[in-house]
Structure 1
Amino acid sequence: MAEGGSIDVEKEYLKKLLRKAEDHCSKGSFDNVSILFRNKPSSYFDDIRQNHNNIMEPYLKDNGGDQRCPINGRLKGLFFNVTLKNGSLPNMSPFGDTRVKVQLSEVFDDSAKLYFADFYCKPPRRSPRRITRTRAHYVTLVLTRSGSEADSFCNMHLLKLDSCSNKFLIKTFSTYRTKDCPRVHVEVMYTEAVNMTDRDLSKTGTFGRGHSTQGGIGKTVGCSMCNVEDIS
């Protein structure tokens, strides 16, 4: 199949996945937010300070999530979370005991572009045959600088979202809101480097492995909430 046809199929699949995500997030309200936050083990930030001139560089997306996600192994970025817990930042993370915060106004200004990339849930660590509607689901968004190489890739392969009217992360002038929906986590992949100079790090608790899984965790097979029929 020619590249153009392949991209058309890719986007048709994403459109169905986006509808699934929008349906799942149709209920609930919105939380006002002002920051993105990223948890990693303290050694990760030590390495950035000591060996990378305090610059947190984007790295290639792993194979976590939907196996047909167009950014897997093809786009570099930094993953942040934006979802609150009971209106506040969560005090624990599965990704590490050290947190850095980035103001949304710093990265999501009028020149930024927002794209939909994925909607998935992770297989349960116990009772793998048990599929429930209460499992946590993840919406993956990509935030780019307009005109960048990453933006060109996303414009070709992903679905651009209206910053003011999407269901996941809304920007209205200088105010930001994200979906407050039970067991839905909105994650944002930012495609630019972040200078860590003068940024405060804070300690949090951890749960699960306490760090990300090398290679990523694939999407649950058989979940009716986030799986769509195959498109060939």
Structure 2
Amino acid sequence: MTESHLNSPSLELQSLQLCDREGTESADSGIGDVDDLPVPQQIQISNITCDSFKISWEMESRGRERITHYFIDLNKKDSKKENQFKHKDVPTKLVAKAVPLPMTVRGHWFLSPRTEYSIAVQTATKQPDGEYAVSQWSEIIEFCTADYSTVHLMQLLQKAEATAGRMLPFTVFYRNQEQEYFEQPSSSYRSRDAQCCQMLPAVKDDSGSHGSPISGKLEGLFFSCNTEFNTGKPPQDSPYGPFRFQIQADVLINQSTNIYFGDFYCMYTSYHYVILVLAPDGSKGDVFCKEILPALDRSNNRFLSCTEEEDGSLSFRHAQDVILEVIYTEPVELDSGTVTRISGHQLMSQSTVNAKKDPSCKICNISVGR
């Protein structure tokens, strides 16, 4: 293999073969003449997405002409404190034909979004008996895959739209908390400013899709707007506390509010959640969402609509067949609504705090790593 061939434009690797254990034994035990094969050095990882990356490296000229394959050891890094690369425990060992570098490693069956990986590489030559002679392993490189792109979020959006169902009218948004949240300052409630009587935006947790670009980044306040089918009013049960702040819908969503689709997921249950973001036009949250989230038509979407009537008033509707989690990106004054105790139960099993998405659900998963 010549120098010019190694530095040729990237070639996308659509399919990588997994070594079986018998095949990988020769790589780990070093059968063959390893001294004549160059060891990959200065590994570079680039063009990282949620389910792909490009890899390249430098090599000495000695033995290049003998290289027929690359062995790529890709390991999901479970703990940041552990920095030991254990080849025998690596579930994904990939064999690729020696192609021009950089090459693209792509595959939703083994790459997950927003996940830390360790990677090492060997060069190899396939021998007449089918075994491989291999080089020493390269240095270990660590990298993290990216969040879902807008393309992936659009796929989620289409799946969510197919599940949303008919629209029902509503008039208020509501937010449940413990009594202490509304009455006194506490280190347990950092999204509450008791002195200024405000509810303050807090960073979204890791609930929902693993590749969601808003988890751990977007600041906001969670609200609900779902109603009971038989009463048309908010349900009296909540997993988040027995005290409910309730506010008229037009305070949070009006003609100067933008709506964005954030996520679609379930938690091993039959019902599904849709996360929407409400951001006042030009606000910090609005600027953030414009870059990464699909925007929805305020008056015509399948989840949460705000329509101006002939008399100038606003009417609101929400999707019946999904549970909406609405994130409002700005502080909300407590005196703009009311706080009352609900009469129902506190159903902790329905809490979505840091809830993990069901990776096997065919309704809310897309064709990239979960």
Distance 2:327 2:154 in 1: 19
Q: Deviation string for 1:49-79 (max 9, x for gaps)?
A: 8834211000000000111111100010000
Matches within 5 A, 1:168-187: 168-173=303-308, 174-181=314-321, 184-187=322-325
Partner of 1:36: 173
Question: Does 2:331 align with 1:193?
Answer: yes
Partner of 1:152: 287
Q: Match for 2:268 among 123, 130, 139?
A: 123
Q: Does structure 2 conserve the Cα–Cα contact (< 8 Å) formed by 1:65 and 1:217?
A: yes
SS in 1 for 2:317: strand
Partner of 1:45: 182
Partner of 2:248: 103
Change (3 A) 1:103 1:7: farther
Read off the aligned partner of 1:113 and give its amino acid letter.
N
Q: Does structure 2 conserve the Cα–Cα contact (< 8 Å) formed by 1:58 and 1:193?
A: yes
Distance 1:102 1:51 in 2: 18
Shift of 1:99: 0.4
SS in 1 for 2:326: strand
- TM-score between the two structures when normalised by the length of structure 1: 0.85
Which segment is superposed worse, 205-214 or 8-17? 205-214
Q: Aligned residues, how many?
A: 217
Partner of 1:70: 213
Change (3 A) 1:140 1:74: same
Partner of 1:15: 154
Q: Does structure 2 conserve the Cα–Cα contact (< 8 Å) formed by 1:112 and 1:146?
A: yes
Which segment is superposed worse, 172-181 or 74-83? 172-181
Shift of 1:213: 6.4
SS in 1 for 2:335: coil
Distance 2:273 2:352 in 1: 16
Partner of 1:90: 235
SS in 1 for 2:273: strand
Distance 1:165 1:198 in 2: 27
Distance 1:68 1:4 in 2: 10
Q: Does structure 2 conserve the Cα–Cα contact (< 8 Å) formed by 1:93 and 1:210?
A: no
Change (3 A) 1:60 1:208: same
Distance 2:49 2:280 in 1: 24
Q: Which runs of 5+ in 2 are unaligned?
A: 1-45, 51-144, 186-191, 309-313
RMSD across aligned positions (CA)? 2.6
Read off the aligned partner of 1:123 and give its amino acid letter.
Y
Question: Does 2:360 align with 1:222?
Answer: yes
Change (3 A) 1:210 1:220: closer
Shift of 1:211: 8.9
Change (3 A) 1:85 1:106: same
Shift of 1:208: 2.8
Which segment is superposed worse, 82-91 or 41-50? 41-50
Distance 1:179 1:189 in 2: 16
Q: Does structure 2 conserve the Cα–Cα contact (< 8 Å) formed by 1:64 and 1:72?
A: yes
Q: Does structure 2 conserve the Cα–Cα contact (< 8 Å) formed by 1:13 and 1:231?
A: no
Q: Deviation string for 1:123-160 (max 9, x for gaps)?
A: 35xxxxxxxxxx11111100001111211110001000
Asked which structure has the greater CA Rg, the reply is: 2
Shift of 1:32: 1.2
Distance 2:49 2:286 in 1: 18
Shift of 1:7: 8.7
Question: Does 2:257 align with 1:112?
Answer: yes
Q: Percent identity?
A: 33
Question: Does 2:283 align with 1:143?
Answer: no
Q: Does structure 2 conserve the Cα–Cα contact (< 8 Å) formed by 1:9 and 1:231?
A: no
Q: Does structure 1 conserve the Cα–Cα contact (< 8 Å) formed by 2:148 and 2:213?
A: no
Shift of 1:114: 0.2
Change (3 A) 1:50 1:117: closer
Q: Does structure 1 conserve the Cα–Cα contact (< 8 Å) formed by 2:242 and 2:346?
A: no
Distance 1:211 1:53 in 2: 31
Change (3 A) 1:17 1:113: same
Distance 1:153 1:12 in 2: 17
